[in-house]
């Protein structure tokens, strides 16, 4: 493409160089997304009988709304705000992998609920942690049993964070003694740690379990959380919900080594190699780690129209794991917030 004003790239000022780089990236992205859109495995099949409308009462929708609000807020330094009444855990470096965490008490339907929101990836150190994903056994000295194998990086982060989170829960419940329910939440890698916290609540020796022993409801709602265990986490035996909310197409919920390699092949293969690969049928790598929680997929049911028709469907995790969700543009926190806000408003209007 000829640059504007017939200038050659080496003659352009920095601003125009950035524009050319942005244009090249956009064209490359369009090629990638075009290949993805051509794959039927990149989305759920609307005719699949396993797609059931997510039915929930207003209390659950309010819980989801609180979860998405706090998952977004923890990306900001909310503890510096004058009206912040919670307990803040400062993030640390890759040495011990602690993620920023906010612990607050909010009122939901007349109940005081402790909300533990864990920040997703916000630094290069976080991404090194995410990519350290070889599944490992927890170890005989660990509170987790050895029937599962866990994402190494997230398990390390949980181990480093557990004591501080338990301490924070105890501090806010001392301030708010009527708190009797808890909600673990987070987006992306923050959702992974939230699920590990939720899992620890079923293990009596866990410091988090000890901190909430008087609670009567345990909840976990995550957004775009990656898989963390070779066996899905078992929902808590008591009341509460365990939801994994997923934007249709979000690749992070399937992110593990072989899946990432497959995504890179879509992006980097030449047209000839790509056509040859697809002529044999596009193979989706089998999942080694699996999605935990009830899968709630947010999707546009009017994919061929101009206006988005948003719906939330409950689907088996195994069905999501047979897709090739690979549009990283739908992983952003802001899209989860906008869609949840719309669905909550619709639920309250009906």
Residue 223 dihedral angles phi and psi, to the nearest 5°: -130, 115
pLDDT of residue 317 exceeding 80: yes
Q: Any idea which residue has 């345990």 for tokens?
A: 218
Between 310 and 279, the more confident residue is 310
Set out the domains of the chain in order of their start, with CATH numbers: 57-349 (3.40.50.1820)
Residues 6+ apart with CB under 8 A from 48: 315, 319
Lookup: tokens for 21:
């780089």
Residue 280's pLDDT is 72
Task: Please state whether 300 falls in left (phi above 0), alpha (psi between -120 and 50) or beta.
Answer: beta
Quick count: other Cβ atoms within 10 Å of Cβ 178? Answer: 9
User: What SS3 state is found at 71?
Assistant: helix
pLDDT surpasses 60 at 117: yes
Report, as an integer, the average pLDDT of 219-244. Answer: 94
Give Cα 100 distance to the centre of its chain: 15
Sequence-distant (≥ 6) Cβ neighbours of residue 243 within 8 angstroms: 64, 220, 221, 222, 293, 294, 296
Residue 51 pLDDT? 87
Predicted pLDDT at 145: 64
> Helix axis angle, 14-37 relative to 257-268, nearest 10°?
110
Higher pLDDT, 304 or 47: 304
Output DSSP code: residue 229.
B
Question: Picking from 51-55, 56-60, 64-68, 144-148, which range would have the lowest pLDDT averaged per residue?
Answer: 144-148
List of residues 6+ apart from 233 with CB closer than 8 A:
195, 198, 199, 242, 292, 293
Placement of tokens 């719309």 in the chain: 342
249 band by pLDDT with thresholds 50, 70 and 90: very high
The residue length of the chain stands at 350
Q: Give pLDDT tens digits for 5-21.
A: 444 343 444 454 455 55
Q: Which of 68-72, 93-97, 264-268 has the lowest mean pLDDT?
A: 93-97
Query: What is the C-alpha separation between 254 and 325, in angstroms, rounded?
Result: 8
Tokens coding 216: 């009567």
Read out DSSP for 302-328?
A: -TTSSS--EEEEEE-HHHHTTS----G
Q: What is the pLDDT of residues 18-61, one digit of tens each?
A: 555 565 567 678 888 888 888 888 999 876 777 899 999 999 99
| One-character DSSP codes across 104-148 | EEEEETTEEEEEEEE----SHHHHHHHH---EEE--TTSSS-TTS
Res 5: pLDDT: 40
Q: Is 145 exposed, middle or buried (0-12, 13-18, 19+ CB in 10 A)?
A: exposed
* DSSP H helices in the chain: 14-37, 58-73, 124-131, 152-175, 189-200, 207-211, 257-268, 271-279, 317-320, 333-349
Measured over all CA atoms, what is the biggest interatomic distance in the chain, rounded to whole angstroms? Answer: 72
- Tokens found for residue 126: 């976080």
pLDDT for 10 equals: 39
Work out the average pLDDT over 291-303: 93
Q: What is the mean pLDDT of the chain?
A: 87
| pTM for the model | 0.89
- Reply yes or no on whether the pLDDT at 82 is more than 70: yes
Q: Which residue is it, tokens 């919900």?
A: 241
Helix (H) or strand (E) holding 87: strand 87-89
HSE on the CB side for 186, CA within 13 Å?
A: 26
């Amino acid at each position: 493409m000829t640059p504007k004003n017939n200038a050659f790239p080496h003659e352009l000022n920095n601003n125009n160089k950035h524009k050319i780089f942005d244009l090249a990236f956009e064209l490359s992205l369009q090629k990638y997304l075009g290949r993805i859109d051509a794959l039927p495995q990149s989305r759920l099949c609307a005719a699949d009988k396993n797609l059931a409308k997510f039915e929930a009462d207003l209390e659950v929708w309010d819980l989801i709304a609180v979860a998405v609000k706090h998952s977004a807020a923890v990306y900001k330094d909310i503890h510096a705000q004058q009206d912040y009444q919670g307990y803040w855990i400062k993030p640390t470096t890759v040495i011990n992998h602690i993620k920023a965490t906010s612990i607050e008490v909010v009122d939901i339907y007349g109940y005081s609920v402790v909300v533990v929101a864990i920040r997703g990836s916000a630094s290069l150190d976080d991404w090194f942690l995410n990519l350290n994903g070889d599944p490992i056994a927890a170890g005989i000295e660990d509170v987790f049993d050895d029937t599962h194998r866990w994402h190494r990086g997230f398990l390390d982060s949980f181990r480093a964070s557990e004591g501080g989170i338990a301490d924070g829960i105890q501090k806010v419940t001392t301030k708010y003694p009527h708190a009797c329910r808890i909600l673990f939440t987070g987006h992306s890698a923050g959702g992974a740690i939230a699920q590990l916290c939720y899992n620890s609540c079923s293990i009596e020796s866990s410091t988090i379990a000890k901190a909430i022993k008087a609670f009567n409801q345990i909840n976990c709602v995550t957004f775009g959380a990656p898989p963390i265990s070779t066996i899905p986490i078992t929902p808590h035996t008591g009341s509460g919900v365990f939801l994994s909310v997923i934007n249709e197409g979000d690749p992070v919920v399937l992110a593990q080594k072989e899946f990432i390699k497959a995504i890179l092949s879509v992006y980097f293969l030449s047209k000839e190699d790509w056509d040859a690969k697809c002529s044999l049928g596009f193979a989706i790598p089998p999942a080694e780690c699996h999605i935990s929680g009830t899968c709630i997929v947010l999707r546009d049911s009017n994919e061929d129209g101009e206006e988005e028709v948003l719906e939330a469907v409950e689907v088996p995790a195994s069905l999501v794991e047979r897709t090739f969700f690979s549009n990283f543009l739908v992983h952003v926190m802001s899209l989860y917030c906008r869609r949840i806000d719309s669905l909550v408003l619709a639920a309250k209007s009906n």
